[in-house]
Structure 1
Amino acid sequence: MLAPYLLTTLAGLLLATQEASATCSNWSTRYQTNLNGVCVCNATQCDTVSNNYTSLTTGQVGVYTTSKAGDRFAYKVANVDSTTVSSPTYSIDVSTQYQTMIGFGGAFTDAAAINVYKLSSKLQQM
C-alpha cells in the first residue's frame, strides 16, 4: 500500500540543502499586486533550474521549492527511510487555515502547445 510508505517517507526525511542557481533580473509588473515574485521568462532572460535530480541514488528524492519568502527553485535532497508503518495516523485540523489555494499544478494541453508555437524559435528552445 502506498499511503503507509508515503507517511514513512515524510517521517524519515533527512534534508540536505542545495540552492539552485535561479536568479531573476526581470520581475513581472503585471502580477506584482497578486503574486509578488513572478519572474518573466523571455528570449533574453529566464530562470535556470538545477538538474541535480539526475544524480539521485536509491532512497533519495529531489524537492524543488519556490516561496513568497524568496525561495526560487531551491533544491533539496531528501533521504527516504525504507521502514514501513503498518497503521498510519492522519490528523487534519480544519479550524486553522494556513493559506489560500489559487490553483493546482498545470498541464501541457493543446492550448499550451499553441501558445508555445507562437513564441520565437529562440524562446521555444529555452
Structure 2
Amino acid sequence: MLICAKAEQCVARKYDQESIVCVCNATYCDLIEPTTVDQLAGNVARHYISTKEVDIANATYFQVNKNVTYQQILGFGGAMTDSAAIHINSLSEEAQQLLLSAYFSPEGLEYSFVRVPMGGSDFSTHYYAYDDVVNDSTLRYFNLTEEDYLLK
C-alpha cells in the first residue's frame, strides 16, 4: 500500500499556462510531515509528490519488505553545485535558513549528505579546474578558485 500525500500548503507562483512552483521565501517554505519506519506498518511507504494534482491512479507503487535488505543506506542527499550555492547565497538570511531547513531538518527532506563537485561542473558559470598544467604530478600549480572560497 502506498500513501500518496502532498506537502503543507504550497505558496504557488504560476508560470506559463500550466506550470507552477512552490515559493520558498523569508517567511515560509512548505514542509513535509515527518514519518519514521516504525509508523509504517507492513508494506506501507509514504511517497510525496510535487505536482499540481495528486493522481492516485497513476502513482508509482513500491513494495517494501523491511526483512529483505540488499545494502545499507547511509543517508540521502543531493549535489551542491556552484549554481545551487550562487542561488542560495542570493537569498536573504531568513530565506536561506528556511530553504536549508526544508532540505536538512526533520520537518524537511532530512538530507544527510551533500555531494560537492571538485572544480567546475556543468552548472558552473565558467569552466575551471584545480590544475590545468599538463604532467604536473607534483601539483605545483594546484590552486583553489574564488568559487571554492565563496561557495564550497
TM-score class normalised by the smaller sequence: 0.3 to 0.5
Relative contact order higher in (CA < 8 Å, ≥ 6 apart): 1
Q: Give the number of the structure whose alpha-carbon radius of gyration is greater.
A: 2
